[in-house]
Structure 1
Amino acid sequence: MLRVGLSGGIGSGKSTVAARLVELGAVLIDADRLAREVVEPGSPALAELVERFGPRIRTPEGALDRPALAQLVFGDEQARADLNAITHPRIGELTLERMAQAPADAIVVHDVPLLVENGYAANYHLVLIVDAPEHERVRRLEGRGLDAADARARIRAQATDEQRREAADVWLDNTGPVEELLAEVDRLWSERLVPFERGVRELRPAPRRPPLVVEPDPEWPRTARRLGARVLRAAGEAGMRIDHIGSTSVPGFPAKDVIDLQLSVRSMAEADGIADALAEAGFPPDSGCRGDNPHPVDPDPGHWVKRYHSSADPGRPVNLHLRVPGGPGWRTALLLRDWLRAEPEARADYLAVKRELSGRFAADEGVARYAEAKEPWFAAALPRARAWAERTGWTPPEL
């Protein structure tokens, strides 16, 4: 099963995307619909709301008067917190029930208006955000009967564009004709969601891409934060720390479009114990790499052991390295990152090697051969990095 979070600001066109995904075969769970379901007449939640906010929020027929409740909670943080405390746990329980009822091979789309505001992004394999300019959203809301001032107030009470971009794996721009939006959703379904679901279900990493160095992407750090939050959630108490490592962690540095993450765990036994949870979260074990290669300066393979997972998402390559803190592999990954961040000459040297090797190898076996071809540079660079650490007093981050 693939869990997809869908959100967007009011008037963005989220419902249009949800409807198209259902047409394509998705199982939709609509948070707004569940929110209405838990406060139906006679429900315990409605009784609690009446006790908290008074009888005026109930219609003569015994139903919840939603506009009356909205007037009481809009702009009142405490009232909104009380409302959420009554309704959210029940909505959460109902959501889990509906997800459990979906087929094992389903792509479940959870339509949540406040996904970003409530910090739910790490719960999903992928988050889709639908967006449109504010003036267009106001125009759409006016068409639904809201006045412009009310529409703008509601928009500004929700998450900002920057907050949504932090959560978004996919940003769907609904500025142009609806046909363009639907075509983009169709491509997303066939090229990413369907193969991603299959990879999660079959515990199979996405096919590797040829090792090709590209220009730096300013989204890499944000992507790493988002993926790291999912890894930590899946790892639970076993996950001590997540770090963005590798070339994409060096600002402004050309690299393969692959996010490398290092998850710190107390032991390899704990790493093995969370393998299934990581796989279910979209990061299955990758048999193509069982552990680190020892460097010539420290040839003992026992010092460099790790566990290795990759992403099942064909749209976002990820290498996930599980290591025990304090080991040379763990320390070296952090040292080389920080040394490259600090030393322009080191970056220039490394980039020359990367550019020379870029595009030389095909996808099959290419990643391993690309890594092997860089080993001589790393063997020479590691003493330089260690000397820099000694000179500057560098130490690894605290756990």
Structure 2
Amino acid sequence: MLRIGLTGGMGAGKSTVARILAELGAVIIDSDVLAREVVAPGTEGLAALVEAFGAGILAADGSLDRPALAAKAFGSDEARAKLNSITHPLVGKRTGELISAAPADAIVVQDIPLLVENGLAPLMNLVLVVDVDAETRIRRLVEFRGVAESDARARISAQATDEQRRAVADVLLDNNGESGAVDAEVRRLWERRLVPFERNLRTATPARRTELRLAEPNPEWPAQAQRLIARLWLACGAAATRIDHIGSTSVPGLPAKDLIDLQITVADLAVADGVRDALGAAGFPVRPEITHDSPKPTPQDPAGTDIALWAKRYHQNADPGRLANVHIRVDGSPGQRFALAFRDWLRADAAARAEYLEVKREGEAKAAGLTGEAATIAYLDVKEPWFDAAYARAAAWRDATAT
């Protein structure tokens, strides 16, 4: 099951996107609908609200008088917290029930207006943000919903900012255009990314590139890495001692394969094996056939033949729209220390970056015309000999700059 978080500011058009996704086959769970459902007449939620705020919040027919509740619940932070303590667990419980009832191959879209505010992005396999500039949203609220402009501005200012939403967005759906303009974009997203992602997740299949080519530096790589890292932290919990963005995409200004490399540091490989299923459920299935890095000469092993020193576990992202490698290495192992030292060395040393880029370009040329594993092998045939020497150079730089 693929869990998608859908959010956006008031007036952005989330309901339009949700409707299209429902037509395509998604299971929609609307938090606003659930928030009304759990306080309907006869529910434990309504009874709890009456106990907390008094019978004055009830309409003549016994239903919830929402303006009356708002007048009491939004008068202070304490009252608002009391309201949330009653409704949020009930909405969460009902959400869990609906997710459990969905088919195993479902694409579940959770429409959550306060996804950013409540820190829910890492719970999702993917976050879609419907993006519309604030002034356009205010105009839509005034013209199409009859909301007073002052009220519209007050409501929008109380929500997350556009920048905060964009920071958690794996997919930004631009809905600034005319009505219907976003439809084709949503349908392409469904066909090219969501459906393959769900299939990969269900079958524990990593998303893989077909061709090997270098991309120009992307300023979004660090933010993309941080979104993945947030999901990895949630999956690993205390099993991880640190999670880092490593590899070429972590070095500003360096052309690289459009592939995020991440490193989870653990106490030992038993811990790594213990988070295998949790990582798979989070969207990062294991590659069980890859059990170690390529050994390099070390003080413990001058010949560079001891595979055990370089043992690791290796996962990859199932999302075809954001390829990523996840290396799980033991704290203090040669591979773990090299990954960090190599990144920091390249960040600090322009000559080393230039030299490495030349090697990468040579590897790219050798892999030209090849696909899949054949391309990767051709690329690594060029890089690995250089890496063997780079291990000692990066370690020397690390030791020389250590404080």
Aligned to 1:310: 316
Secondary structure at 2:332's aligned position in 1?
A: coil
What runs of 5+ residues in structure 2 fail to find an aligned partner? none
**1:69 maps to amino acid:** L
Give the corresponding residue for 1:99.
99
Aligned to 1:54: 54
How far apart are 1:314 and its partner, in Å?
A: 0.6
- Give the counterpart letter for 1:337 in structure 2: R
1:279 aligns with 2:280: yes
Query: How many correspondences in the alignment?
Result: 394
- The percentage of counterpart residues that share the same residue type is 58
Alignment partners' CA distance in 2, 1:251 and 1:288: 32
Partner of 2:27: 27
User: Which is further off, 8-17 or 381-390?
Assistant: 381-390
Which whole-Å deviations, capped at 9, do the CAs of 1:63-102 have from their partners, x for residues lacking one?
A: 1112222334447333222211111111111101000000
Match of 2:218, SS state, is coil
Is residue 370 of structure 1 aligned with residue 379 of structure 2?
yes
Ranges in structure 1 where 5+ consecutive residues have no aligned partner: 395-399
RMSD: 1.5
Q: Name the residue aligned to 1:164.
A: 165
Q: Is the contact made by 1:6 and 1:110 (CA closer than 8 Å) also made in structure 2?
A: yes
Name the CA distance, whole Å, in 1 between partners of 2:337 and 2:59.
64
- Structure 1 ranges of 4+ moved more than 3 A: 71-76
Q: Structure 1 residue 383: deviation in Å?
A: 1.9
CA deviations on 1:169-228 (whole Å, 9 max, x unpaired) are: 000000112333010000000000001000010011113242211111111111111101
Counterpart of 2:327 in 1: which secondary structure? strand
How far apart are the structure 2 equivalents of 1:132 and 1:154?
Answer: 15
Q: After alignment, is 354-363 or 188-197 more displaced? A: 354-363
In 2, the alpha carbon distance for the partners of 1:360 and 1:67 equals: 68
Structure-to-structure mapping, 1:1-399, within 5 angstroms: 1-74=1-74, 76-142=76-142, 143-287=144-288, 289-297=290-298, 298=301, 299=304, 300-358=306-364, 360-361=366-367, 362-365=370-373, 366-393=375-402
TM-score normalized by structure 1?
0.95
Q: In 2, distance between residues paired with 1:53 and 1:209?
A: 60
Structure-2 separation of matches of 1:20 and 1:259: 31
TM-score (norm 2): 0.94
The DSSP-based 3-state class of the residue aligned with 1:40 is coil
Q: Which deviates more from structure 2 when the two are superposed, residues 284-293 or residues 93-102? A: 284-293
Structure 2 distance, partners of 1:48, 1:277, is 35
* Closer/same/farther in 2, CA of residues 216 and 77 from structure 1, 3 Å limit: farther
Task: Report which stretch shifted further, 211-220 or 192-201.
Answer: 211-220
Give the Cα separation in 2 of the matches to 1:356 and 1:96.
Answer: 51
Tell me by how many angstroms 1:302 deviates: 0.8
Give the counterpart letter for 2:320 in structure 1.
Answer: P
Q: Does the 8 Å contact 1:213/1:359 carry over to 2?
A: no
Q: By how many angstroms is 1:288 displaced?
A: 5.6
